[in-house]
């Protein structure tokens, strides 16, 4: 079978695994309904704090995409 035609979840080593809890759709919908400020709400701050603590660093900044993260990294170089 041509690997390009086989869904990623059917590969011997999948590229990703989707894990969804019962309340995930409700929580994500609440954030999206907030409107233009969906990316800067209290959930993001909580996630960044938990991730910083898990990694063992004082600060953590999340981005909406790898492109945004790369752009921010390049801006800091100047």
Instruction: Tell me the DSSP string of 9-56.
Output: GGSSS-S------TTHHHHHHHHHHT-TTTTSSHHHHHHHHHHHHHHT
What is the pTM for the complete model shown? 0.61
In a domain, 57, yes or no: yes
In a domain, 55, yes or no: yes
Averaged pLDDT, 16-34: 88
Overall domain count for the chain: 1
Quote the domain boundaries for residue 69: 24-77
pLDDT over 90 (residue 1): no
- Burial of 53-65, coded b for 16+ CB within 10 Å and e otherwise, reads eeeeeeeeeeeee
Residue 62 lies in a domain: yes
Q: Which residue has the tokens 């390049």?
A: 74
Asked whether residue 76 carries a pLDDT value surpassing 90, the answer given is no
């Amino acid at each position: 079978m041509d690997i390009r035609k086989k869904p990623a979840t059917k590969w011997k080593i999948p590229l990703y695994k989707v894990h969804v809890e019962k309340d995930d759709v409700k929580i994500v919908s609440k954030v999206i309904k907030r409107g233009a400020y969906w990316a800067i709400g209290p959930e993001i701050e909580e996630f960044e704090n938990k991730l910083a603590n898990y990694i063992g660093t004082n600060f953590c900044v999340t981005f909406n995409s790898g492109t945004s993260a790369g752009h921010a990294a390049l801006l800091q170089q100047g």
